Amino acid sequence: MGKHIEEKSLVVINEGSIFYRIKRFFRNLFNGKNEIIQPQVSNINNEVQDNEKETFVESLKNSLKNIEDEETKLLKLQKQYEKGEIATDELSNEQILSLKELYKKQIGNLERSNENRKRKILQHKDGQSFWKGTMNTENDETKLLKLQRQYDSGNIKVDDLSDSQMKDLIKLYKKQISELSKSNETRKRIANGEKYVIRQKMPKEGVTSYIDTVYGEIKVENSALEDQILIKSDGFPTYNFANVIDDHLMEITHVIRGKEYLDQTAKYNLLYEAFGWEKPVYVHVAMVLGEDGTKLSKRNGDASFMDLYNDGYLPEAIVNYLAFLGWSPDSNKEIFSLDELIASFDPRRISKSSSSYDVKKLNWYNAKYIKSMSLDDYMSLVLPFLKDVYDVSDNG
């Protein structure tokens, strides 16, 4: 004889039975709502034969497995999304809605658990927390995201969470729901023809570091980086985006620029990493200041190389002087030919401090080079200037 079960109900006799687990799963999954596909049991007679019961149980098992598979897929998607393996823009509208519902459900579970905990604590005779495994509060976003992934995967239970952790998780879930909603709204606005920019999403945890030839290891907290714009609303790329691509296509191996770009280089490197390209060697140099202590600038009327040349300074003197602005050799020698500078130059001896433009020192270098010239070379140099003032066409 088959065992008797009440029509249209799942009678729980043993908590380990399939009936109990199915009922509990349905109740937890849908939070007690009735909008679920009810098992078709209305046609089952009061007396159920063993083979009919087995068929019924197998049917319920299959239904349960299908539902579990869908939730497993959704939880896997949630894990990938929280790790940053899947960007919001890569989610379909259906996936966004499903994730939002999952986050809402998890918030509800946390809030209900928190209320139950409060009631149990009040009933506890010594007023102390009754749960075990309480962890220290972690406010750092990196640790909170890690905690969320552990909680979502079931490695940490609700009873393992402190009150502050539970509140932080609820805030995080609500934030993620808001981000998903914004993404959905963004898609609608783009579809309506509104202008938009394309940004590179920056990592929010850890650090981005690189080695600079002059300043050594440079570390930048990723949390301080803003998502950088790559394509502007007019459809054109930004300078930073185009610069990285241009340097790569031109096979630039060394980038030498002012030290004010030290922190910005982290963003450049994240672009290189996103494309899978080899990064160049970076050499950041300190600023050259004018005699008044301000940064040299053509806009302020400061002389360029050609301005100095047109004023009569020898190219050799200009190069020698400029090489010593922020750099020094490993000796006391000050006069270097171009070939000697190339042979002696070591970027590791570039100064980290700003240097000052000194016209008197430039004049000293120019005088040294003029004095070392032969008479013929000297006359070839000064003759064009003399012709502007004197008549040098006499027979002598």
3-state secondary structure of 86: coil
CA 149, 154, 157: angle at the middle one, nearest 5? 105
- In this structure, are residues 279 and 269 in contact, taking their beta carbons and an 8 Å threshold? yes
3-state secondary structure of 102: helix
Q: State the catalytic residue, choosing from 33, 298, 360, 371.
A: 298
- In this structure, are residues 248 and 271 in contact, taking their beta carbons and an 8 Å threshold? no
Strand partners for 217: 211
Alpha-carbon distance of 200 to 274, in angstroms, equals: 9
- In this structure, are residues 323 and 341 in contact, taking their beta carbons and an 8 Å threshold? yes
Rg for the chain, CA atoms, rounded? 37
Alpha-carbon distance of 350 to 328, in angstroms, equals: 7
Residue matched to tokens 């640790």: 143
Residue matched to tokens 């590179």: 200
Would you call 2 exposed, middle or buried from its count of C-beta atoms within 10 A (0-12, 13-18, 19+)?
A: middle
Alpha-carbon distance of 279 to 281, in angstroms, equals: 7
3-state secondary structure of 22: helix
Alpha-carbon distance of 239 to 229, in angstroms, equals: 10
Nearest residue to 59 (alpha-carbon basis) of 36, 41, 35: 41
Q: Is 298 a catalytic residue?
A: yes
Tell how far CA 256 is from the center of its chain.
24
- In this structure, are residues 339 and 273 in contact, taking their beta carbons and an 8 Å threshold? no
- Other CB atoms within a 10 A radius of the CB of residue 365 amount to 21
- Other CB atoms within a 10 A radius of the CB of residue 273 amount to 11
Would you call 268 exposed, middle or buried from its count of C-beta atoms within 10 A (0-12, 13-18, 19+)?
A: buried
Supply the residues annotated as catalytic: 298
